Chain A
Amino acid sequence: MVARRRPAIVLHIILLLLAGVSLYPMIFMVVNAAKTGIETGASPFSFPIHPLWQNFLQAFQATGPAFWRSGVIVSVSVFGMLLFGMLASYAFAKLDFPERNVLFYVVFGLLLVPPFLTLIPLFLEIKDMGLLDSRWGLILPYIAGGQAFCIFILRTFIRSIPNDLFEAAKIDGATELTMFGRIVVPLSVPIIVTLALLNVVGLWSDYILPSLILSTNHETVAMAIANFQPPPLAPSINAFNLQLAAFTLASIPIAILFLFLMRYFVAGMTNGAIKM
C-alpha cells in the first residue's frame, strides 16, 4: 500500500507543477493588469498591493465597440456553420442519395486544404465582392471554413444514432425535417456544444483574416488587443498594463462560455467522436 501511495504523490507534484507553469502566462496577465507600469517594471512577478481596478475600465473604454462587433460576427458565423453543417451531416449519415460518398469526399477533401492557400485569393474575392470592411466579409468565409471539420465530426456522430429511432419515427409519419429537429439535433447536443466552443474560441481570436478585411475603425477584439491604443487620458507608463487588462477582458467571454459548457465540452471531446 505504501509503495502504491508514493507514486500518487509524485504524480500530483508533477501535475501541479506542470499545470502551474502552463497557467502562469494567464496568472501573469491578470495580476499585472491590475498594477501600474512602475510596479510591473520593478518586478513582473509581484502581486499588486492596491489593485488598480480602473485599468479594466480604461481598457474597456478603448476596446468596447470591438466586443459587440466580434460578438455578432462570431455568433452568426458559428450558428450558420453548425446549422448547415448539421443538415449536411444528417444527409450524409442517414439519407440515401446518389453520389453520396463522392459528395462527402468533396467536403472532406477541404480538411486537406490549409487556410493559408486560400488566404490571399479569399481576400481578393471579398474585395471584388465589395465586402471589404463589412461583417459579411468575415461571416461568409467563416461559415464556409467551418464546414469540413464540423461535418467530418458530426457525420460520425449522427451515424452512431440507432436506425431504429428513424424507422419508428418514419412509421409515425415523420418527415426528414421533423426527424432532424426531434431526433438528430437533441441527441447531438454535446457534440454541437463542443464544436460551437472550439469554433467560437477559434473565431474570437482570429486575427489574420479580420486584419485584412476590416479597417481599424471596425476592428474585432483580436485586432483591438493586438493593436491596442490606450485611451488618451491614461498615463503612458501604464500602457502595457492596460493592454494586459484588455487581454483579460478579451478572455472573459470565452471563460464564461467554458464555465457553463465545460461539462458538455469535455463529454463531447472525450466520448471518442473526435478521431480518425
Chain B
Amino acid sequence: MNVPVISDASRETTPAKSPIRRSPSAKRRTRLVAYAFIAPTFFFILAFSYYPAIRALVGAFTNWDGFNPPTWVGVANFIEAFHDPVFLASIGHVALWTAIGIPLSLIPPFFVAQLIFQLRSQRSQYVYRTLFIISMVLPAVVGILIWEYIYEPSGMLNALLKDVGLRFLQHAWLANPHLALWAVILMGFPWVAPFNLLIYYAGLQAIPTELLDAAAVDGATRWKRVFRVEVPLIMPQVKLLLVLAIVGVSQNLLTPLLMTGGGPGTSTTTPVFYMYDVAINFDQYGYGMAIAFMLFVVVMGLALLNMRYFQSEN
C-alpha cells in the first residue's frame, strides 16, 4: 500500500524540468549553445535565400540590364507585363498546366498506393513498392530528354502508333503549336510519382487496422472504405502533396527549357520560363523579377489558402 504513495511523493519533488536545467548559469549556457547551433543555418539562409529573395522583390520595381545600376521605375514593369501578349499567354498555359498537372500528380500515386496496400502479402507489397521507386534513379534531366525523344517526329510514340496501325494519329507532337503544351503537360505517363506514392503509402500504413476492420464489419464496400475512412485519415499527406504540387507546377522551368525552349512560338512558354528568358537571354532583369514577384504572390496565396482550408477542416 505504501509503495504507490512513495512514488507519488517522489514524483512531486522531481519536477518535469530537472534542477540541473533550472540553474541560471546552465540556462544561459544552453542558450549560447543553441544560438551557436542555429548560427550556420542563419548565415546560409540570410546570405543565399533571404538576401536574393529581397533583392528579387525590390528589383521588380526597377529597370535593370545587369550592368548599369538599376533605376527605380515603380510599377512600370507590372503595367508592361499586363500589356505583354507573351506574358498573358503564359498565364493561360500555366493555368492549364495546373488544372491538369495537379490531379495527375495526386491521383495516380494514390491509386497505386491503394492497390499496393490492398495486397495481403508483405512481400508483394515490398516488391511493388520497390518497382515503382526504381525510376527515382533517373535524373530529372534524363526523364525530360527521353520524353523529348518519345515525342519526336521519328520518335517512340509515333513508332508505337505505326506498329499498332494508328498511323493517322501520328504527329510532330512538340512542333505542333496546338499539341506542344498538351504533350509537355501529359509527359510522364502513367504519372506514378515515386515520392508521392511513398508518402501516401506511409499514410495508409499509419491508419489503425481496427478502424479498417470496423468499417469492413459494418459492411462498407472496399471503395466506400477508401473514401469514407482512408481519404479523410490521410488528409495530412494530401495537404503536403498538394502544396508541393502547386509549388512544383508553378515553377516548371526545366521542362520548357530543355524540351521546347518555350515554343513552337510561345505555345509552351510558362511565366517562369518567360522570367528566365527575359532576364537571362534579354538582360531585362527588372522585368524578369517583376514576373517572378507576381508568380510568387499567386503561389504563396494558393499555398496558404489550401493550408488554411485544410486546417479548418481538421
Contacts and interface: CB of A to CB of B under 8 A. Distances in A.
A207 B258 contact: yes
A229 to B, nearest CB: 14
A88 to B, nearest CB: 4
Contacts of B239: 276
Given A87-B37, A90-B37, A254-B137, A270 B288 contact: no
Interface stretch (A51-59, A60-68, A143-151, A231-239): A143-151
Contacts of B132: 18-19, 22
Nearest to A177: B33
A97 B44 contact: no
What range describes how many residues of A lie at the interface?
35 or more
Most B CB contacts (10 A, CB to CB) among A15, A167, A205, A247 go to A15
A85 B155 CA distance: 44
Given A167-B18, A171-B20, A225-B141, A151 B159 contact: no
A251 B51 contact: no
B115 A222 contact: no
Given A25-B146, A107-B41, A145-B49, A119 B276 contact: yes
B137 A255 contact: yes
A8 B44 contact: no
Contact of B159 (A43, A117, A118): A43
Contacts of B27: 96
A25 B130 contact: no
Interface string A244-275: 00010011001100100010011001111011
A221 B119 CA distance: 39
Interface in A98-140: 98, 100, 103, 106-107, 110, 112-125, 140
A12 B34 CA distance: 52
A188 B139 CA distance: 27
B45 A44 contact: no
B300 A23 contact: no
Interface string B269-282: 00010011001100
Interface residues of B, number: 102
Contact of B142 (A22, A29, A271): A29
Most B CB contacts (10 A, CB to CB) among A25, A116, A225, A262 go to A116
Contact of B299 (A114, A119, A170): A114
B299 A18 contact: no
B237 A144 contact: no
A240 B132 CA distance: 27
A250 B33 contact: no
Contacts of A100: 34
Nearest to A273: B202
A275 to B, nearest CB: 5
B91 interface: no
A21 interface: yes
Contacts of A92: 38
B181 interface: no
A6 B210 CA distance: 25
Among all A-B residue pairs, the 10 with the closest Cβ atoms: A205-B139, A144-B48, A121-B52, A270-B202, A144-B44, A91-B37, A121-B55, A95-B34, A118-B52, A88-B41
16 contacts: A15-B115, A18-B192, A22-B135, A85-B41, A91-B37, A91-B38, A97-B31, A148-B45, A167-B18, A180-B37, A205-B139, A262-B130, A269-B198, A270-B198, A275-B199, A276-B243
Interface of B: 18, 20-21, 27, 30-31, 33-35, 37-38, 40-42, 44-45, 47-53, 55-57, 59, 66, 112, 115-116, 118-120, 124, 128-143, 145-147, 149-150, 154-156, 159-160, 163, 189-190, 192, 195, 198-199, 201-203, 205-206, 236-237, 239-240, 243, 247, 250-251, 253-254, 257-258, 272, 275-276, 279-280, 285, 288-289, 292-293, 295-296, 299-300, 303-304, 307
